[in-house]
Amino acid sequence: MSAQFGRRTTLGLIGAAAVLRHARGADFNWKQHSGSTLHFMVSVHPWTQWAQQQLPQLEADTGIKVNWEILYEDQLRQKLPLSLRSDPGSVDGFFTLPSWDATAFARAHWYVPLDKLIHSDATAPDWDFADFFPNIAKIHVVGGEQIGVPITIELQALFCNKEMLAAKQLSSPATLDSLMDTATKLKSGDVSGVVTRGDGVQAVYTFAPFLFAFGGRWQDEKGNPELGSAAMVNALKYYGDLLRAAGPPNILGMQWKSTYPLFQQARAAMFIDATNFLAYFKDPLQSRVVDQIAVAPLPAGPSGAHSTVISWGPAIAASSKQQAATWTAIQWLTSKKAMIASTQTTHLPPSRQSIYNSDVYTQSVPADMIAATKQEIPNAVPNGANPLVVPVPEVRAAIGQAIVAALQGGDARQAADAMQKQVTQILNG
């Protein structure tokens, strides 16, 4: 992947704030940007909701006030590029997902490259960039430049309601064949056997592991679309058959914000999506299944099991006039002490090695989640949530049309051929 950068380019929640009082080294002044006011634009995510609760302590420690604007992901996709393009300087920091943003944002020169900041006296000595898993940090590398800081290791997993499976003497399915069989047996009345995304654009993410399980891929070695393969046809057919047989009746158009509540409220026996959702399922204030959750690796297909691995993270807007203050705020929120607190609250796999390998992680995250992620990481596909192209929205929309056709019971071969033709046309301009 190549990219160019311009000259300017770069819930117990409140209780957790107490552990975020950062020791200030004699050679680093955390209050050097005191009085600054920053605007961050981020998406709904367990980490961003945790971070929002830490902002009063961040201001106490640094003197920096942060206005934290949280948007649903589809809203962020629309508002953030518009703000960066038409209102330079209005956004100082933002949440980036490289599999979606990086190619287009780098071409538009919207990122501040972080390498010079990381290796300068603008960075606290104990922030320790080397502590991040190298392969996870590389998810935020574009054109050889670090453009963001990964906050978690985000994989996909199979969530099961233990009580519902036990009631029918079923176990967590390990293969796609057993997933189909188990989901069908679990569907009963208004309880779905399994749920995942049915909205075309959003379903590209949850469909990806099924494509990989059948031996497919988004692009060939030269970056050309490879969407008309037999593996794609088989994956489309399976995804459509599974959700028509065992999913909710209104699966078409269902985004993640309408799928996860079904599992959370015991209206679906199994749920396939990002590991991040564990935070919502373990929250006793909103979940009915806190003690009923089992987490398993994704079921394997003919070519094994292959999750995507992605990582959201904060980045600095190149048009910001307060880049140094923004970097200080990002360091505070992603420090070792901050990540200990966020891991304890969100139950998500941390991107820092020292915390992942500590008792903090093993005591904060269920043992089956740890086992599932450890099993998935070696075979996961980095930034595999969609093809790595500039026109991601248009390409995802085209792929989404094929997924919707499969969900409607359409011919998978015709859908795949139409998708290949449409995406080729989009990329050729």
Q: How confident is the model at residue 365 (pLDDT cuts 50, 70, 90)?
A: confident
Using the predicted structure, report yes or no on whether residue 190 has a pLDDT greater than 50: yes
Using the predicted structure, report yes or no on whether residue 21 has a pLDDT greater than 60: no
Contacts of 218 (CB under 8 A, 6+ apart): 208, 211, 225, 226, 227, 384, 386, 387, 388
Domains 1-154+311-373 and 156-306+391-429 share a fold: yes
Q: How confident is the model at residue 393 (pLDDT cuts 50, 70, 90)?
A: very high
Distance CA 382, CA 134 (A): 12
What's the whole-model pTM score?
0.85
Quickly count: other Cβ atoms within 10 Å of residue 34's Cβ: 15
Using the predicted structure, report yes or no on whether residue 123 has a pLDDT greater than 50: yes
Using the predicted structure, report yes or no on whether residue 363 has a pLDDT greater than 70: yes
Using the predicted structure, report yes or no on whether residue 168 has a pLDDT greater than 90: yes
Quick one: tokens of 190?
């208004």
The pLDDT assigned to 299 comes to 98
Distance CA 257, CA 222 (A): 35
**192 with 268: CB under 8 angstroms?**
yes
Compute CA distances 349 → 40, 295, 342, 417, whole Å.
23, 13, 10, 38
pLDDT, the chain, mean:
93
| Residue 16: its H or E element | helix 13-16
The pLDDT assigned to 66 comes to 98
Counting residues of the chain whose pLDDT is more than 90, the rounded percentage is 92
Contacts of 384 (CB under 8 A, 6+ apart): 99, 208, 212, 218, 306, 308, 309, 310
Query: Looking up tokens 């969407």, which residue turns up?
Result: 227
Q: How confident is the model at residue 27 (pLDDT cuts 50, 70, 90)?
A: confident
Q: How confident is the model at residue 25 (pLDDT cuts 50, 70, 90)?
A: very low
Stronger pLDDT, 24 or 95, i.e. the higher one: 95
Q: Determine phi and psi for 308, rounding to 5 degrees.
A: -80, 160
Compute CA distances 404 → 99, 110, 293, 319, 416, whole Å.
22, 33, 29, 38, 11
Give how far the C-alpha of residue 8 lies from the chain's centroid of Cα atoms, to the nearest Å: 27
The pLDDT assigned to 429 comes to 81
Using the predicted structure, report yes or no on whether residue 9 has a pLDDT greater than 70: no
Mean pLDDT of the 370-394 span: 94
Q: How confident is the model at residue 2 (pLDDT cuts 50, 70, 90)?
A: very low
Mean pLDDT is lowest, of 18-22, 125-129, 165-169, 382-386, for 18-22
Using the predicted structure, report yes or no on whether residue 386 has a pLDDT greater than 90: yes
**335 with 355: CB under 8 angstroms?**
no
pLDDT in tens, 36-87: 999 999 999 999 999 999 999 999 999 999 999 999 998 999 999 999 999 9
Mean pLDDT of the 116-126 span: 96
Q: How confident is the model at residue 6 (pLDDT cuts 50, 70, 90)?
A: very low
pLDDT in tens, 395-412: 999 999 999 999 999 999
**316 with 109: CB under 8 angstroms?**
no
Using the predicted structure, report yes or no on whether residue 425 has a pLDDT greater than 80: yes
Query: Could you tell me the residue ranges of all domains in the chain?
Result: 1-154+311-373, 156-306+391-429
CA angle 410–414–419, rounded 5-degree value: 105
Q: How confident is the model at residue 10 (pLDDT cuts 50, 70, 90)?
A: very low
Mean pLDDT of the 291-310 span: 97
Using the predicted structure, report yes or no on whether residue 158 has a pLDDT greater than 80: yes
**108 with 3: CB under 8 angstroms?**
no
Q: Which CATH superfamily includes the segment(s) 156-306+391-429?
A: Periplasmic binding protein-like II (3.40.190.10)
pLDDT in tens, 232-252: 999 999 999 999 999 999 999
Got the DSSP string for 181-216? HHHHHH-BTTBBS-B---SHHHHHHHHHHHHHHTT-
Q: Which CATH superfamily includes the segment(s) 1-154+311-373?
A: Periplasmic binding protein-like II (3.40.190.10)
The pLDDT assigned to 128 comes to 97
